[in-house]
Amino acid sequence: MLAQRDRFLAQAQEEADRTIALARDKAEQIAAKDNIVVEAQRRAEQILAQARADAEATRRDADDYVVDTLVQLQDSPRRFEPGAQRVRTVQEDNCRKTRARHPMRSLKKLKNRERAPSAYNADQL
Residue 112: predicted pLDDT: 63
What does each C-alpha distance from 62 to 12, 30, 58 come to in angstroms? 73, 47, 6
Nearest partner of 31 among 23, 21, 43, 42, judged by Cα: 23
Break the chain into its structural domains and give their ranges. 2-116
Q: The whole model's pTM is what?
A: 0.42
- Residue range 82-104: average pLDDT? 74
Confidence bin at 117 (pLDDT 50/70/90): low
Neighbours of 98 (CB within 10 A): 15
16/24 Cα distance (integer angstroms): 12
97/105 Cα distance (integer angstroms): 12
- Residue range 105-117: average pLDDT? 57
Show the beta-strand stretches assigned E in 14-67. none
Average pLDDT of the chain to the nearest whole number: 79
Which of 2-11, 14-23, 76-85 is least confident? 76-85
> What is the rounded end-to-end Cα distance, in angstroms, of the chain?
111
Identify whether the C-beta of residue 98 lies closer than 8 Å to the C-beta of residue 109. Answer: yes
